[in-house]
Amino acid sequence: MSSNLFQDEKTGALVEFISKHDGEYAMVRSGDGAIKYVSLDQLVPYDTEKGRLAKVEAPQIKKAEEEKAPERVVPLNDSRLNLNTAPPELIAKRLPGVGYATAKRIVELRMSLSGERFSNLKQLENIPRVNWEQLIAEDLIFIA
């Protein structure tokens, strides 16, 4: 397990912890290499073998570690479904309890949003009859 791999609770994306800032924020690197700042409260430790883990204190990185060239922590072969890019056929096929009609409504909701993409997993709650909490807990979906 890599102690620097986290899941952003807001988006579900896997991120690499780089450093802590102002005691409340973390600098993280996403799977596509983008660097951004997120609240420490929205990061959950992640193990590629087990998925989400219980909340723990964000790791402290020593000065010597910061000077080394970064290694890739976020896995390239993320098997979870990105709801910002998935077509309705794939959504219906990969998510248990989601039929094609519901999958089309998910895509229609996505297309009606600003930027035609989900920015938060909570937006999915507008689609009824889907157990979103279970899909998130089982690490089947994310948005990026």
Q: What is the mean pLDDT of the chain?
A: 84
Architecture of domain 5-66: Roll (2.30)
Tens digit of each residue's pLDDT (9 = 90 or more) over 58-102 = 566 665 555 666 676 766 667 889 999 999 999 999 999 899 999
Give DSSP secondary structure letters for 5-56: EEEETTT--EEEEEEEETTTEEEEEETTS-EEEEEGGGEEEEETTTEE----
pTM, 2 dp:
0.58
